[in-house]
Structure 1
Amino acid sequence: MAALDMLEREPDLAFSLNGLARALKVTPMALYTYFGSRDDLLQALTERLLSGFVTVVDGDMPAIRRVEAWCFAARRFFLGYPQLLGLLTWEGGNTSVAWFDRSVVLIEALQELGFKDAELSRAIIWIWTSVMGAISEEIRNRTAPHSLSPAQVESLDPRLHKPVRDMLMLAEQPDHFDSFFAYHVERLLDALRAIAKRP
């Protein structure tokens, strides 16, 4: 599909319908030939684009490990197509239906852990926000890493010197992104376990 080709060819370019129309060599209005509205077009587009987001789970996998598998599947997918982060929701309060479909593994695992009703809803939104925020921050840091000069570190409150130096050294490690995401997910799983044990 032209949209996926465009995303692979120009991974740093923000996705837009005008860009898609240019890639297809049609006018932007031509995109609406088969769709009744911009929302219908974007729903169809995100369904197609998110088709590659697959969470592989084993039938015997414990629920907490299925949550973990979903988190890592989201990271793999969105690191490959970072522009799609902006297509999960769009103006007018619309959300991609395909995004909910790709979250079935996560939602069923949370239900199996005992989450239900408002607590289930909060847990889903919390995980989405937490995981997608971590992925967004990783994408940003891969292109524009955080840094402070030694003079800037020295200008900080002396109580911050060692913690800030340690953070900067950690961020320079070759496996930083992988290990930090794993740390992030494990803390998320710890919290889910603790919540699930509450009476």
Structure 2
Amino acid sequence: MAKSVQKKRLSPAEKARIAELFHRFESLSDDPRTELDYDSPYTLVVAVALSAQATDVSVNKATARLFKVADTPQKMLELGEEGLIPYIASIGLYRTKARNVIAAARIIMEKHHGEVPLNREDLMALPGVGRKTASVVLNELRVEPAIAVDTHVFRVAHRLKLSAGKTPDQVEADLMAIVPEAQLTRAHHWLILHGRYVCTARRPKCEECPVGDLCPSRRLFLAP
């Protein structure tokens, strides 16, 4: 069961700014989802685990072939580590990821009767599944509101002055405390997609940003 989120006390002006910010994200996409391809909780776990330090595009190319032959823990075990490697060799850290995917499949079969455990504690006990991966899975499946902080979310949160946290965990805690309750399950995707396509690292597209007038950092990037 998800823990209740302790909301942060905000000034009326800041509360209104944040509400408007997420309202605009919602108006652009009311049901955002991961760009990773999956068709079950198990394939989602595998895809997210493979995506660490890799692009969603590269993972989708690999899993398009992989999931045709191994889309369940049992089939993944039958494929084995050496059988899995050729499918994911184009992805960074593929040997470590192959070892973790097979080890996780074994635990799912032996301890969870072949079903992915949809609670944070058991998910994080799986090899290759850390806090961020568990958050992505639980949030994507609408089991538990969570905001997984990757480089995009970290950057956007700071530029929009939603957090001054120095670590992903601190930024996550700040975001969970200020995002409007009704939008918590979707905030992760809005922020990551905004960072991926608009508020990019080197050259943010401030001129076309849908929340530019609400961004305290905009003046730093616009040409004088």
Tell me the TM-score normalised to structure 2 length: 0.29
- Counting helix residues as a fraction of each chain, which structure ranks higher? 1
User: Which of 1 and 2 has greater Rg?
Assistant: 1
Tell me the TM-score normalised to structure 1 length: 0.32
